[in-house]
Structure 1
Amino acid sequence: MNTPSPGYTLQGRCEQLRFRFRQSAPSLARSKRLSTCIEAQMLAFQMQVIGMTYRRYGPAQYSGSERHQTGCALMTNYSQGTGSGDFNIGALISESFAVLHRALPRFLALGLIPIVPLIISTLVIGVPTPENPFPNVSAIVVLMLIYIALLFVIQGGMIYGAFNELRGQNFSVGDALSKGLSRFLPLLGLSILVGLGIAVGLMLLIVPGLWLICMLYAAVAVCVVEQRGVTDSMSRSGELTSGFRWQILGLVLIVGIAGWIVAIIIEYIGGGLGGPIFGALLGNLFQVYLTALGSVLTALVYYRLRSIKEGIDIDRLADVFD
């Protein structure tokens, strides 16, 4: 039997891939070689990607079009390290940088909002010194609580932006902020419970706090995407992260330690150039970038976990935003 040749449309290309998969399925099922397993996975994934592109753009010409490039970009990102059932830390970090930098000004604009209390703290209260290590503790605590609450809301908006970028769609700062604010009360409750839980856990010999960070890593994404309540978001995050918490811990430590080192260097250089307050301000501005990167990474981890455990694609996942 000859391979059907329905032309170069997206629908035709998908039919060709389906035919190849049906023809090769028996031999692939009998073989235990890694290469044939990879071939089966890639055939299935290509069908999924072409189908996604076809649903989004309609029956446009497949060859030489921007839509074709979009589908190929999706397959390239996938093949760079996140195969089926795989939680690849390096690929997740790399893709997070790619998504972040595709819309960097908008992500940074959102990231500035929760940093405002930190900047106020630096300018008004000052920075700790050996003579006065805890300047105005009550004001600092209040500003930090405001920062944490705003951080969760903005993280919700950034997750919306990250999913739009993953789908190849633009987003505005206003839309992202609106999405975050629409979940303000659940995100506020989540910030209080998660923040208190992690703080208590870190005080109890650190390990319980790290375990909670890994367990609740996807809670904000669950709250925004699945529109669940506070406790449901936490329990759902526990379900999704189950079996992958060591990988999430490695991810958190790699990004956290690297960000901490860079922040120290920036503050040290800034402090040498313009004094401790100038150095602290530069550190706060770098925190804007880290906030944006962390939010995008959270969105990608959440998507990856659902892709592995539930086989869901990005279009189905982000339908809630349409």
Structure 2
Amino acid sequence: MWRILNEAVWLWGNRLPLFTAIILTVWLPGNLLINWLAFYVLSEDDWAKQIRLTVWIEGIFGPIYLGALVYAVACHKLGQAVSYPQAMAVGLKNWRRLFGTRFLAGLLTLLRLILLIVPGIVLLVRYALIDAIVVLEDTTGQSALRRSTELTNGRRWQIFGAATVLFIGYVAMSFGIYLPTGVAEQLDTMAYNVIADSVLDVVFGVIQVAMVLFFWAAKDAQAAGRVEGQAAAVV
């Protein structure tokens, strides 16, 4: 777990300009819209509408930057150079398949939560690798969900632990970034909030990078196991 955490943080920092450009392709205009509505259209009591809008933006447009991010990390693992246009082209190409698979995963998770079949956090961990699977293995829908369940088997505590550590760091940074607006009201402007939200969106990307690295490690381990099995069969 710690090896992947260290690699994720290092890779995120090393490729920060590229990852920032990819993530903010969706979230800079998204944050501008959300904060414009918050400051000039909606009232302070309409925070639920802001949350719904954030969910809609992530749900509809998120697959674009997620697909691009997955491809960029994969290129790094393969030792290949990748440009912003190349990564975004892959994100756009895989938008429909990623959207459909993520929608299915969300729907199944919601249904099972309603029926109290499986705790939601368990399903979130099982499906943590679907973005990488859709983009890198050309697998969609239930096949991608089954593949993610297969690859996370035996690694779910590691995935949960890594995501928890990174999320705690993200929450701590969120608190630090927004604290000044509570101390000095003059900082609570649309411009400050757009910048703060965008910085946090980029920081959150390290969690998504870590999930791609977990996929890569699981795939390599599975391939190594098959080779060992074939060698044992020959002997």
**TM-score when normalising by structure 2:** 0.82
The structure 2 residue matched to 1:275, chosen from 188, 195, 201, is 188
| Counterpart-to-counterpart distance in 1, 2:113 and 2:157 | 17
Q: How does 1:30-41 map to 2 (within 5 A)?
A: none
CA RMSD for the aligned pairs? 2.7
Q: How does 1:24-173 map to 2 (within 5 A)?
A: 89-115=1-27, 116-126=29-39, 132-135=44-47, 137=49, 141-173=52-84
C-alpha contact 1:267 1:283 (8 A) present in aligned 2: yes
Runs of 4+ residues over 3 Å off in structure 1: 195-205, 270-273, 276-280
| Counterpart-to-counterpart distance in 1, 2:101 and 2:32 | 24
1:264 aligns with 2:175: yes
1:223 aligns with 2:106: no
Task: Give the CA deviation at 1:233.
Answer: 0.9
C-alpha contact 1:99 1:166 (8 A) present in aligned 2: no
The aligned residue for residue 292 of structure 1 is: 205
| Counterpart-to-counterpart distance in 1, 2:177 and 2:34 | 19
The aligned residue for residue 162 of structure 2 is: 251
Q: Which has the higher contact order (CA 8 A, sep 6+)?
A: 2
The aligned residue for residue 60 of structure 1 is: none
Q: Given the superposition, is the C-alpha separation of residues 287 and 225 from structure 1 closer, same or farther in structure 2, using an over 3 Å criterion?
A: same
| Counterpart-to-counterpart distance in 2, 1:237 and 1:190 | 11
Structure 2 residue ranges without an equivalent (≥5): 226-235
In structure 2, the residue corresponding to 1:254 is in which secondary structure?
helix
C-alpha contact 2:167 2:207 (8 A) present in aligned 1: no
Task: Give the CA deviation at 1:133.
Answer: 3.0
C-alpha contact 1:149 1:188 (8 A) present in aligned 2: yes
* Residues 78-122 of structure 1 deviation map (CA, whole Å, 9 limit, x = unaligned): xxxxxxxxxxx1111111122222221111000102313233111
Q: Which has the higher helix share?
A: 2
The structure 1 residue matched to 2:91, chosen from 170, 176, 180, is 180
Q: Given the superposition, is the C-alpha separation of residues 264 and 201 from structure 1 closer, same or farther in structure 2, using an over 3 Å criterion?
A: farther
Q: Which amino acid aligns with 2:74?
A: F
* Residues 48-85 of structure 1 deviation map (CA, whole Å, 9 limit, x = unaligned): xxxxxxxxxxxxxxxxxxxxxxxxxxxxxxxxxxxxxx
The aligned residue for residue 53 of structure 1 is: none
Q: Given the superposition, is the C-alpha separation of residues 272 and 190 from structure 1 closer, same or farther in structure 2, using an over 3 Å criterion?
A: farther
The aligned residue for residue 122 of structure 2 is: 211
* Residues 218-264 of structure 1 deviation map (CA, whole Å, 9 limit, x = unaligned): 11100000011222111110110012111111111111121112112
The structure 1 residue matched to 2:100, chosen from 172, 189, 192, is 189
| Counterpart-to-counterpart distance in 1, 2:17 and 2:7 | 17
The aligned residue for residue 215 of structure 2 is: 302
Figure out how many residues of one structure are paired with residues of the other and give that number: 220
